[in-house]
């Protein structure tokens, strides 16, 4: 432990140890402002937001209604009937802007994408669930996504911390927000987290340290790196332009005025003193052709004078490795590989892409589960309460029964895009092997983000439809059978080194 005190590298390094809430309060506004500016002005960050949103949300998370049958005392048939009806009516609701959006502009999936895209530079999702009806829809449960800077930054004793009011246990019970008034200024107001029966009113989603009540952008640790990359690129471009514009140097023992005259054409030199010298050296010029081209000028130099040309030395050999190193650190906070972040797959192989995807995919799933799914879940709970209260979805003992069993009946999974595959054929072969060694089908389907029960039901419907329409039922059962039916010499693919493998008869 003494090394921490005596080592030269630790000299002068004495950071303060503070509560996370204090650090967030001090750094939030400036860190978020800088990150938002970066997202607005960096193609890498703007692209990262779009790519990450596509991986985490894609076209939207689909509801997989899973009420707890044991807790509710329901049979499997009751649970299936409830889930089927709920999912069908939910699909109508989320795809109607008039039904779910307080501004009647976007469907729920688009609102979720906006919220996640805002979470990346701010570290927070802030939304409200107002209850009113729009023309064109009978649904009253709405979602309004707000920018995170609508939070008040006010803290006051005994229980208001950076706009979040907490109870004695530290749990949030209300939020102090800002809004524009009729005079163009701002006024603050307070909203409860939920109403008297537990229906959510404000949705606030973030990740942080224990006792932290506000989130902060995950890009805060790499703001310096992103700035360094911009400075490196700007400095390299400036140096390149300078070397391109000033690509030649004239070395001479003459005075600067004489050299400048020498670089002029005969017409530009007029009656300067240098003209007399040129006349005296006419015989030398008659025998020497140093015209630099159709658009160049004739250099009126003398023996002993030297014109040197230079090529640009920037970007040099060190630029790309160093720039790549900076971008690698920035990509680490985006839950993407460097290739995804930059769009440059030079030198990547199937194995490297597969490994990078395998390492990053749990981070994508984590963001889906802990950042986006809670927003969907809050809207779903409020919507389901409205549906049961209106009688559109039947529930034992009506809305009173729902309120008593809210947690059990609202259990659900939220499915999004499946994990991208560098080679679908190799992935399918791997799935076949896993199935042969005894792994359950649920594990195989989860690899693709598909619910096993849904897949079985859809397969049964397809087989019945094929039978009704008289379509041949025969299908190969394994990948091996697929290749057995492929004509010899026609199989092709991609080797592990990323190169195209030609058909067998051309190899």
CA 364, CA 142: separation in Å to the nearest integer? 27
Output the pLDDT for position 479: 60
CA 56, CA 368: separation in Å to the nearest integer? 5
Q: Which pTM was predicted? A: 0.75
Strand partners, 165: 160, 174
pLDDT 10s digits, 426-457: 778 888 888 888 888 887 777 676 778 778 88
CA 107, CA 101: separation in Å to the nearest integer? 7
**Percent of the chain's residues with pLDDT above 90:** 37
**In contact, 176 and 188? CB cutoff 8 Å:** yes
What is the three-state SS of 207-230? CCCCCCCCCCCCCHHHHHHHHHHH
pLDDT 10s digits, 474-487: 665 566 665 655 54
pLDDT of 6 strictly over 70: no
Q: Which residues contact 249 (CB under 8 A, 6 or more apart)?
A: 307, 308, 310
pLDDT of 314 strictly over 70: no
**In contact, 145 and 127? CB cutoff 8 Å:** yes
pLDDT 10s digits, 283-300: 554 555 555 444 444 455
CA 210, CA 19: separation in Å to the nearest integer? 9
C-alpha distances in angstroms, 1 versus 6, 11, 14? 9, 15, 15
Output the pLDDT for position 231: 74
pLDDT of 492 strictly over 50: no
Helices 108-122 and 20-41 pack at an angle, to 10 degrees, of 110
Question: Given the DSSP bridges, would you call strands 500-501 and 202-205 parallel, antiparallel or unpaired?
Answer: unpaired
pLDDT of 109 strictly over 80: yes
pLDDT 10s digits, 370-421: 999 999 999 999 999 999 999 999 999 999 999 999 999 999 999 888 877 7
| Overall average pLDDT of the 237-246 stretch | 66
CA 123, CA 351: separation in Å to the nearest integer? 33
The residue with greater pLDDT, 222 or 306, is 222
What pLDDT band is residue 32 in, cutting at 50, 70 and 90? very high
């Amino acid at each position: 432990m003494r090394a921490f005190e005596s080592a030269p590298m630790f000299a002068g390094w004495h950071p303060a140890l503070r509560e996370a809430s204090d650090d967030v309060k001090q750094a939030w506004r400036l860190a978020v402002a800088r990150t938002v500016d970066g997202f607005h002005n960096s193609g890498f960050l703007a692209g990262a937001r779009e790519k990450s949103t596509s991986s985490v949300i894609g076209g939207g998370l689909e509801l997989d209604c899973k009420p707890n049958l044991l807790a509710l005392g329901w049979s499997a048939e009751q649970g299936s009937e409830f889930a089927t009806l709920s999912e069908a009516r939910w699909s109508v609701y989320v795809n109607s802007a008039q039904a779910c959006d307080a501004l009647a502009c976007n469907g729920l999936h688009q609102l979720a994408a906006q919220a996640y895209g805002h979470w990346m530079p701010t570290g927070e999702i802030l939304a409200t669930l107002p209850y009113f009806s729009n023309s064109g829809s009978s649904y009253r449960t709405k979602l309004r996504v707000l920018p995170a800077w609508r939070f008040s930054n006010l803290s006051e004793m005994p229980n208001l911390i950076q706009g979040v009011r907490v109870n004695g246990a530290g749990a949030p019970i209300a939020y102090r927000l800002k809004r524009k008034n009729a005079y163009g200024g701002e006024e603050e107001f307070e909203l409860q987290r939920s109403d008297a029966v537990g229906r959510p009113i404000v949705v606030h989603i973030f990740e942080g340290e224990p006792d932290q009540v506000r989130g902060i952008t995950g890009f805060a640790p790499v703001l310096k790196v992103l700035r360094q990359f911009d400075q490196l690129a700007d400095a390299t471009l400036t140096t390149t332009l300078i070397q391109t514009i000033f690509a030649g140097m004239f070395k001479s023992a003459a005075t600067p005025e004489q050299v400048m005259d020498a670089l002029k054409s005969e017409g530009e030199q007029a009656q300067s003193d240098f003209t007399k010298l040129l006349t005296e050296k006419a015989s030398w010029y008659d025998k020497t052709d140093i015209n630099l081209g159709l658009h160049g000028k004739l250099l009126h130099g003398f023996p002993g004078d030297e014109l040197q040309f230079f090529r640009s030395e920037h970007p040099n050999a060190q630029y790309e490795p160093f720039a790549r190193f900076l971008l690698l650190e920035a990509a680490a906070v985006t839950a993407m590989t460097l290739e995804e972040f930059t769009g440059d797959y030079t030198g990547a192989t199937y194995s490297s892409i597969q490994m990078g995807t395998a390492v990053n995919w749990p981070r994508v799933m984590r963001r889906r589960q802990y950042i986006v799914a809670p927003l969907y879940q809050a809207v779903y709970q409020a919507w389901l309460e409205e549906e049961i209260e209106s009688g559109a979805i039947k529930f034992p003992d009506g809305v009173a029964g729902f309120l008593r069993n809210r947690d059990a009946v609202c259990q659900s999974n939220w499915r999004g895009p499946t994990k991208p595959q560098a080679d679908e054929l190799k992935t399918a072969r791997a799935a076949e092997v896993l199935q042969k060694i005894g792994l359950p089908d649920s594990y195989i389907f989860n690899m693709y983000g598909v619910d096993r029960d849904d897949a079985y039901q859809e397969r049964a419907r397809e087989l019945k439809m094929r039978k009704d329409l008289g379509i041949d039922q025969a299908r190969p059962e394994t990948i091996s059978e697929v290749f057995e039916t492929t004509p010899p010499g026609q199989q092709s693919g991609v080797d592990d080194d990323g190169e195209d493998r030609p058909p067998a008869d051309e190899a």
